Structure 1
Amino acid sequence: MITRTGVYPGTFDPITRGHMDIIRRGAKLVDRLVIGVTTNPSKSPMFTIEERLAMVKRETADIDGEILVVSFDSLLMDFAEREHAGLIIRGLRAVADFEYEYQMAGMNQQLNSRIETVFLMADVSLQPIASRLVKEIALYGGKIGKFVSPAVEADVSRRVYEIGRKGSA
């Protein structure tokens, strides 16, 4: 039996309700969904890779289907090839996302034409959510419960507290 494998890559710093929407819907498209938690040199993460892996594993534990959460630090297409993926799942929130993702899909297709990129539009109610904005809101004392699960909200609150303590020391 051939298993259809898809890869959903991201930094997930932190994982949001928008990410979860794409994961739930993406899991229905494949037999095996590999969530690739990566570093991004252009971003400074709030959480370590180990913390983000644990967070994503916890948040996806109740989703039906075969879901694997792993870290990677390589070209996405090399990672997808290693995982025997036939497609890459990307979430889109807005036109600005599309322009960037379209360019990336084109470059990835040049690197490996055997792997397709599939775009999923985030649910309308979740489109404005971005991890970067969630962190910014939390750092300024705003409420983030609309954007993340209660467990992630607690993780972020703990980290903001730790950051505050280091800053005042």
Structure 2
Amino acid sequence: MRALFPGSFDPVTQGHQDVLRRAAGLFDEVVVCVMVNSNKTARFAVRERLDRLRTAAAELSNVTVDSHVDGLLADYCRRAGIDVVVRGVRGGPDLAYEMPMARMNHQLAGVETIFIPADPALAHISSTLVTTMGQQDRAPE
């Protein structure tokens, strides 16, 4: 069975890598896909995010990396023949955010969503936090 692990991955975090490794152990193939979130201003170009994901997935033989920058996740799933979406969740707020999307993807494309709970040691990490901390660590120009 093929699964899709979508996200903005801006940047890829240890939490993303953990969910990807765990999903790779559950499915025959996992497509990790850079999506564009119009509600976020990207720090890294899609190409750079793809390169970082390829590096992160290098040891996972059943993982491929792709991008989908225009259109719905349900459209991508239909086109790629994917029936399962994998989402990592850190807690209640993540689950509350993900549930309406899971329901809509099921209604639009018959896609099921599997939630993988974050490793407690990594649950505090988010791409937004990593990006914010990275900006604070920079020396003034």
On whether the aligned pair clears a TM of 0.5, the verdict is yes
Question: 1:54 and 1:99 mapped to 2: Cα distance?
Answer: 30
Q: Does 1:96 align with 2:66?
A: no
**Could you tell me which amino acid in structure 2 is paired with residue 42 of structure 1?**
N
Q: Does 1:120 align with 2:111?
A: no
Question: 1:98 and 1:59 mapped to 2: Cα distance?
Answer: 25
Question: 1:5 and 1:43 mapped to 2: Cα distance?
Answer: 28
Asked whether the 8 Å contact 2:31–2:64 carries over to 1, the reply is yes
**Could you tell me which amino acid in structure 2 is paired with residue 122 of structure 1?**
A
Q: Does 1:11 align with 2:8?
A: yes
SS of the aligned residue for 1:125 comes to: coil
Give 1:132's aligned residue: 128
Gaps of 5+ in 2: none
Question: 1:16 and 1:80 mapped to 2: Cα distance?
Answer: 24
Task: Report matched runs for 1:45-84 at 5 Å.
Answer: 45-63=42-60, 65-73=61-69, 74-84=71-81
Give 1:28's aligned residue: 25
Question: 1:130 and 1:70 mapped to 2: Cα distance?
Answer: 21
After superposition, give the CA deviation of every residue in 1:102-138 in whole Å (9 maximum; x if it has no partner). Answer: 111111111122x211000010111111000001011
Please tell me the root mean square deviation across aligned C-alpha atoms, in Å.
Answer: 1.3
TM-score scaled by structure 2? 0.94
**Could you tell me which amino acid in structure 2 is paired with residue 88 of structure 1?**
V
CA drift at 1:30: 0.9
Give 1:151's aligned residue: none
Moved over 6 A (4+): none
After superposition, give the CA deviation of every residue in 1:131-153 in whole Å (9 maximum; x if it has no partner). Answer: 00001011111xxxxxxxxxxxx
Looking at CA atoms only, which structure, 1 or 2, has the larger radius of gyration? 1
Question: 2:77 and 2:31 mapped to 1: Cα distance?
Answer: 9
**Could you tell me which amino acid in structure 2 is paired with residue 86 of structure 1?**
D
**Could you tell me which amino acid in structure 2 is paired with residue 138 of structure 1?**
G
Size of the aligned set, in residue pairs, is 140
Q: Matched residues, percent identical?
A: 36
CA drift at 1:40: 1.1
Question: 1:84 and 1:116 mapped to 2: Cα distance?
Answer: 13
SS of the aligned residue for 1:91 comes to: strand
